[in-house]
């Protein structure tokens, strides 16, 4: 086991730089997820770590040693590919054992190792089959088996679940997490699915356009996004954002004025951070679960659409000059066309400076 350090990694294809300096350290046995929209450079970054792309600039260290110039095979990393990349004419057992060639184990020992991995991944009955006779989920397991058996320093995943159907994805997500708990390995996992990132990661790295936007534990990223991009990217349904204006009231009071004239009082705890922006346009953000049905003197909004999800209901409300999504749980569920009073969890609001797209007063987190 070893830690993994990306020190100012850059990558250019010809003239165009697509990764602009990634600084990240993954601690021993930590599970770090790289997440970001398509084309932001996640795969390129991961492939630089694997050695499949040459590193243009910066330094990559595994276990404290610079490995920029090492070939993929010399880095002692294992990788699981999106399309699994199983050797088509080798059986499952041979595929899994492929990574053991170098160790020159006696046959019995090697078979025992394959058996153990197969048991761990519950693919024992499949050992004699060819990859082509396997389902997507089974291939995924074999690909993981081939990686695990090598007992590598670092585990790399590039969107391993994106070819699976939704149900299987949830199941495999759990299994990978379980495997990591049972056999911890330093892991860098790439996905464009923020749910995967949130559910699996010890720490999430949000990337955008070849740069890291924010690094932190999932809930930290969710609760304290540092940029508009992170706020919008993490969380489903996405955060509600409203164009607004911050205005100073009597005393040290601060008000958020929405486009439709609604005035909301900034909670006391936030006033100090926001005071400097009084009189300026801002973007006001509130997560769907921070909007609930209130009572009496709360602002009233029409219900445009309802999406029952089972345990919760998503309500789309005409509010703040736009449409807002509220995540309602239990109790009374409004119907389309109702007008409901809204209770807003303003202690959890975020405020974005539209000039910089940075979240105002975000507590800086480590990188």
Ligand X SMILES: Nc1ncnc2c1ncn2[C@@H]1O[C@H](COP(=O)(O)OP(=O)(O)OP(=O)(O)O)[C@@H](O)[C@H]1O
Q: What is the CA radius of gyration of the chain?
A: 25
Cα 159 to Cα 33, 83, 84, 102: the distances in Å are 10, 9, 10, 28
Tell me the CA end-to-end span of the chain in Å, nearest whole number: 22
Q: Least distance to ligand X from the beta carbon of 32, Å?
A: 15
262 binds Mg ion (CB under 5 A): no
**Residue 41, by phi and psi: left (phi above 0), alpha (psi -120 to 50) or beta?**
left
Pick from 27, 87, 276, 307 the residue near another protein by CB under 8 A. Answer: 87
Pick from 75, 139, 141, 192 the residue near ligand X by CB under 6 A. Answer: 192
- Residues in 51-70 at the binding interface with another protein, rule: CB under 8 A: 51-52
* Segment contacting ligand X by CB under 6 A, of 31-39, 121-129, 148-156, 289-297: 31-39
Backbone angles phi, psi at 38, to 5 degrees: -60, 135
The item of Mg ion, ligand X, another protein, none sharing an interface with residue 88, based on CB under 5 to 8 Å by kind, is another protein
83 binds ligand X (CB under 6 A): no
Write the interaction track for ligand X spanning residues 8-27; mark x where CB under 6 A is met and - where it is not: -----x----x---------
* DSSP conformation class of 234: S
Q: Least distance to ligand X from the beta carbon of 153, Å?
A: 23
Pick from 26, 31, 32, 43 the residue near ligand X by CB under 6 A. Answer: 43
**Binding footprint of ligand X, residue count (CB under 6 A):** 11
Task: Give me the sheet containing 211-216, strands edge to edge.
Answer: 77-80, 154-158, 186-191, 31-35, 203-208, 211-216
Pick from 3, 25, 63, 90 the residue near another protein by CB under 8 A. Answer: 90
Q: Produce one character per residue of 174-211: b if its CB has 16 or more CB atoms within 10 Å, e if not.
A: ebbeebbeeeebbbbbbbbbbebbbebbebbbbbbebe
Identify whether the C-beta of residue 35 lies closer than 8 Å to the C-beta of residue 205. yes
Pick from 83, 265, 356, 363 the residue near another protein by CB under 8 A. Answer: 83
CA distance 219 to 217: 6
Backbone angles phi, psi at 346, to 5 degrees: -70, -15
77 binds another protein (CB under 8 A): yes
Residue found by looking up tokens 């590919």 in the block: 81
* Segment contacting Mg ion by CB under 5 A, of 8-16, 19-27, 36-44, 200-208: 36-44
* Segment contacting ligand X by CB under 6 A, of 37-45, 103-111, 178-186, 266-274: 37-45
105 binds another protein (CB under 8 A): no
43 binds Mg ion (CB under 5 A): yes
Nearer to another protein among residue 132 and residue 167 (C-beta) = 132
Closest chain position to ligand X (CB): 43
- Which residues, 6+ apart, have CB-to-CB distance to 308 below 8 Å? 333
Contact set with ligand X (CB under 6 A):
13, 18, 36, 38-44, 192
Contact set with another protein (CB under 8 A):
50-52, 71-74, 77-79, 81, 83, 85-90, 98-99, 101-102, 130, 132, 146, 150
């Amino acid at each position: 086991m070893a830690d993994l350090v990306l020190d100012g990694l850059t990558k250019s294809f010809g003239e165009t730089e697509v990764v602009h300096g990634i600084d990240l350290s993954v601690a021993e046995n930590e599970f770090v997820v790289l997440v970001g929209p398509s084309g932001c450079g996640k795969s390129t970054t991961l492939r630089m770590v694997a050695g499949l792309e040459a590193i243009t600039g910066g330094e990559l260290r595994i276990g404290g040693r610079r490995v920029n110039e090492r070939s993929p095979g010399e880095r002692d990393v294992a990788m699981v590919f999106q399309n699994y990349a199983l050797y088509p004419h080798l059986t499952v057992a041979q595929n899994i054992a492929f990574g053991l060639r170098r160790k020159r184990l006696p046959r019995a020992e090697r078979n025992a190792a394959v058996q153990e991995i197969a048991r761990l991944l519950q693919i024992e009955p499949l050992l004699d089959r060819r990859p082509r006779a396997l389902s997507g989920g089974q291939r995924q397991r074999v690909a993981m088996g081939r990686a695990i058996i090598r007992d590598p320093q670092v585990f790399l995943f590039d969107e391993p679940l994106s070819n699976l159907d939704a149900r299987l994805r949830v199941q495999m997500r759990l299994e990978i997490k379980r495997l990591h708990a049972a056999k911890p390995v330093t892991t860098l996992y790439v996905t464009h699915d923020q749910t995967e990132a949130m559910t699996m990661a010890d720490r999430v790295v949000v990337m955008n356009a070849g740069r890291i936007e924010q690094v932190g534990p999932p809930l930290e990223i969710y609760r304290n996004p540092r940029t508009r991009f992170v706020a919008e990217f993490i969380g489903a349904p996405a955060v509600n954002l409203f164009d607004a204006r911050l205005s100073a009231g009597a005393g040290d009071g601060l008000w958020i004025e929405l486009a439709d004239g609604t005035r909301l009082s900034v909670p006391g705890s936030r006033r100090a951070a926001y005071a400097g922006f009084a009189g300026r346009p801002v973007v006001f953000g509130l997560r769907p679960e921070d909007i609930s049905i209130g009572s009496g003197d709360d602002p009233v909004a029409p219900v445009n659409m309802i999406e029952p999800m089972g345990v919760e209901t998503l309500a789309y409300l005409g509010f703040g000059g736009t449409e807002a999504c509220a995540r309602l749980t239990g109790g009374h569920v409004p119907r389309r066309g109702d007008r409901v009073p809204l209770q807003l969890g303003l202690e959890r609001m975020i405020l974005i400076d539209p000039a910089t797209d940075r979240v105002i007063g975000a507590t800086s987190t480590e990188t």
